[in-house]
Structure 1
Amino acid sequence: MASLAGSSCSSSGAVFRAREVGGNNGAFLGHYNGLRPMENVHMVSSGTKSSGFVSTSARKCRTIKAMASPTVSSPKREKDPKKRVVITGMGLVSVFGNDIDTFYNKLLEGESGISPIDRFDVSNYSVRFAGQIRDFSSKGYIDGKNDRRLDDCWRYGLVGGKRALEDANLGHEVLDTMDKSRIGVLVGTGMGGLTAFTTGVENLILKGYKKISPFFIPYSITNMGSALLAIDTGLMGPNYSISTACATANYCFFAAANHIRRGEADIMVVGGSEAPILPTGVGGFIACRALSQRNEEPQKASRPWDKDRDGFVIGEGCGVLIMESLESAMKRGAKIIAEYLGGAITCDAHHMTDPRPDGLGVSSCITKSLQDAGVSPEEVNYVNAHATSTLAGDLAEVNAIKKVFKDTSELKMNGTKARKPKRLKNDIIPLDFSMIGHGLGAAGGLEAVATIKAITTGWLHPTINQDNLEPDVTIDTVPNVKKKHEVNVAISNSFGFGGHNSVVVFAPFSP
């Protein structure tokens, strides 16, 4: 067994700013003032008081060893049609609408969907723009009465899920002829029904508990997206949600594929949904100091790899895949779009928002995903990467990628998450969808759709707003103009607050 060792060192177990945040006195994010490096932070030893900061423990440094599986020189992919997992449908809700081809064509054109927020009054906000969905219609998918009641998170999930079912030729008429106990739903969310929750709390504070809607709890809890879709379609297979921040959708793909592989389901409706563009969501990320403040040029705010980048742009939407056993797909004559080869999940076990600086959690996750997929690193020529929220995170992911992929000369790399990187020597920051913003729990679902479209079309979307490229960026980021690229095997990375790492592997389908 090969040993991967990484050190986890800090001047204290956690350093918090003792200051008032949002009206509450308490700890802020460890090591960072929001998500930006804290200035003039004086570390203190155990038992020593220091004005303005509290240390939870003395300086400590630990070494963590992870045992990697033996290197497989000739990995073997799954051959059993009952265990091979294919993609037979896709659906989404995005800033570019609800049509898959329109969505990807807009990305290929380099069009930006970022615009000023007009859903609520942001005149006093320091950030006044987002990847806000406009003119959304659920007509034909949600009845009018329920549509008026539902949180947008669930509206997006229902429409995205039903469109994916339609794309897979699994409409009501077809589903009614199938064993619905063999079809499950796993649509996760990072934040849940945030509008429903916010409205309920406001009513409680301003009007009293008797004015709380009976839908307050049901429409707030994170499992409701999967539940509502199952209720509407009658799908009785595995049904729950996963909430791992920005890693949510990938966790769902990994879990759903394993349900199929274990014979617990033939088909899974899988993805992520999010609707955070409201005062609570935007205000919360402003408090974290994570968002770009380029209010005068919102369409140029998301600037991956650019020296002038200043934060990520919040977005919303939904991305859903239909994952199905090859046996089931062939039996019903379904179109097969691509194949899911494998995946993996790990935890950094390091920090709330800061990934491990040595990248051990990420590199081991990538390695395990390739082992699960039966793929060698040399076969991978496309990485849809996750741009993390901190300086350490950006470098940690790229270092992890370099640990696994020794030769990156043929590698193309992009991703879906626009974060708050800051330049550092040798810092190579993974690409984001600078056109749609960061969809949080939905990002991995939208990313999966884009990754599969890259596989099926042979085109990679450009990275827009690369006007002043970092000189240390040596990996091809497809700057400003789309690029033709035949994808052999693609991996898609998603990482979330709390140290949640997830990697999934897709490839063109070969019988």
Structure 2
Amino acid sequence: MLKPISITAISSYSPLGKTSEEVWNNYKTNTHCITLQDGHLVSALSKNLKAEILELRTSDLKYKSLDDSVLFGIFSARKASEAAQWDKNDNFGINIGSSRGATKLFENYHEDFLKRNKTETLSSPTTTLGNISSWIAHDLQTKGPEISHSITCSTALHAMLNGVAWLQSDLTSKFLVGGSEAPLTAFTIAQMQALKIYARNNMAYPCQALDLQKKQNTMILGEGAAMACLESGIKENALATVKGIGYATEVLKHNASLSTNADCFQDSMAMALGDLNPDEIDVIVTHTPGTIKGDAAEVNAINKVFKNKVPALTNNKWKIGHTLGASGLLSLEMAVLMLVNQEFIAVPYLDTQKPKRLKNVLVNAVGFGGNAVSILISK
């Protein structure tokens, strides 16, 4: 890192709620947000949050035709920029990604096309991946650079990398980064089931993320959005500082799997650590999606990098499922909240020793293609 980067606000819109207080209080309980919906285990927004989405959709004609992934992002971005006390004159940059983009809307348009052999006028502009950042920029009335991308499940942390790069280059002094995902459609769930990684049993904790003793895959899809406000330098209102960034891609032997020891994670974590002694890391918020091979590969990589002292490991997918492109920023939010509140949130079904301090936290994410990102943040 050429110079420090401050995280001056972080906000999410997820099954955990929409305010930092609500999210933190939900993290402090051992209950999860996973329910049965149309016969599938999912982690969905509450009825109250869905009502807000409907209200936004009907409040203005321009929002009527937008996908939920865009509306989730708008809500979360509003809260984050407000908390950071940014306004449109700041002309901050925006990089919001999504793994799937306008999933439900695209499927609806395609279903209509198959019936009528023609489609609606707005079918193309409302289903492009760039829709999220463009609409958030429009909603917040900022004129800074806007970027959208999809790098599967590491998308949100790749947005973080891009924001840091822009700030390090002095091309801008503020950047809003994050991810948004609304994947709870029958077709998307069927895709995960086709990979044989989706949970089948409604147990006390249906997603057994980080449990290396499980006998079957337990990934569950969730929906939501999360955003972080990044600023150059050390700010008085900083929640945490970005101390290191790491990224890597490994040579694939399968379209969806990591190597046994997750070489990409070993490289991304080592890069994020830089010259810092690995023993200085107190907690790792893992990506571990609840699959047998994926969870084991990441833990193997952690053991390779942190030979002398493995940090306390935790995860939020057991609680809110896997939100694909938004998951990395939701993990980062969890890390920031632990630093701010100086309290470790453990996985309830695992026997994890609590860290003696909470100063340096590493956050991991990886997606199809073996593209890993690790972000090191500090109190």
Cα drift, residue 391 of structure 1:
4.1
- Which has the higher relative contact order, 1 or 2, with Cα contacts under 8 A spaced 6 or more apart? 2
Q: Which amino acid aligns with 1:95?
A: P
Cα drift, residue 462 of structure 1:
2.7
Q: Which amino acid aligns with 2:338?
A: A
- The reply to whether residue 383 of structure 1 matches residue 284 of structure 2 is yes
The 5 Å alignment of 1:264-275 reads: 264-275=171-182
Q: Distance in 2 between matches of 1:292 and 1:144?
A: 38
Cα drift, residue 319 of structure 1:
0.9
Of 231, 237, 251 in structure 2, the residue corresponding to residue 349 of structure 1 is 251
The equivalent residue for 2:374 is 503
Contact 1:153/1:273 (8 A) holds in 2: yes
Deviates more, 1:186-195 or 1:279-288: 279-288
The equivalent residue for 1:367 is 270
- The reply to whether residue 208 of structure 1 matches residue 117 of structure 2 is yes
The 5 Å alignment of 1:62-461 reads: 78=2, 83-117=3-37, 122-123=38-39, 128-135=40-47, 136=49, 137-138=52-53, 143-170=59-86, 175-176=87-88, 178-180=89-91, 183-209=92-118, 212-295=119-202, 297=203, 299-304=204-209, 305=211, 307=214, 310-326=217-233, 329=235, 335-350=237-252, 351-371=254-274, 374-387=275-288, 391-408=292-309, 411-416=311-316, 433-461=317-345
Cα drift, residue 240 of structure 1:
0.8
More helix by share: 2
Contact 1:191/1:276 (8 A) holds in 2: yes
Please give the secondary structure, in 1, of the residue aligned with 2:147: coil
Deviates more, 1:350-359 or 1:155-164: 350-359
Q: Distance in 2 between matches of 1:96 and 1:382?
A: 21
The equivalent residue for 1:53 is none
Cα drift, residue 365 of structure 1:
1.2
Cα drift, residue 169 of structure 1:
1.5
Contact 1:108/1:460 (8 A) holds in 2: no
Please provide the CA RMSD for this pair. Answer: 2.2
Cα drift, residue 269 of structure 1:
0.7
Q: Distance in 1 between matches of 2:141 and 2:230?
A: 17
Q: Given the superposition, is the C-alpha separation of residues 107 and 308 from structure 1 closer, same or farther in structure 2, using an over 3 Å criterion?
A: farther
Aligned length: 372
Cα drift, residue 340 of structure 1:
0.9
Cα drift, residue 445 of structure 1:
1.2
Q: Could you list the runs of 5+ residues in structure 1 that have no partner in the other structure?
A: 1-76, 417-432, 470-475
Cα drift, residue 395 of structure 1:
2.9
Q: Given the superposition, is the C-alpha separation of residues 484 and 457 from structure 1 closer, same or farther in structure 2, using an over 3 Å criterion?
A: farther
Provide TM-score, normalisation by structure 1.
0.69
Contact 1:491/1:503 (8 A) holds in 2: yes
Q: Distance in 1 between matches of 2:220 and 2:120?
A: 32
Provide TM-score, normalisation by structure 2.
0.92
Q: Which amino acid aligns with 1:270?
A: V
Of 359, 362, 369 in structure 2, the residue corresponding to residue 491 of structure 1 is 362
Cα drift, residue 497 of structure 1:
0.5
Cα drift, residue 382 of structure 1:
0.8
Deviates more, 1:141-150 or 1:250-259: 141-150
Q: Distance in 2 between matches of 1:456 and 1:307?
A: 33
Q: Could you list the runs of 5+ residues in structure 2 that have no partner in the other structure?
A: none
Cα drift, residue 225 of structure 1:
0.8
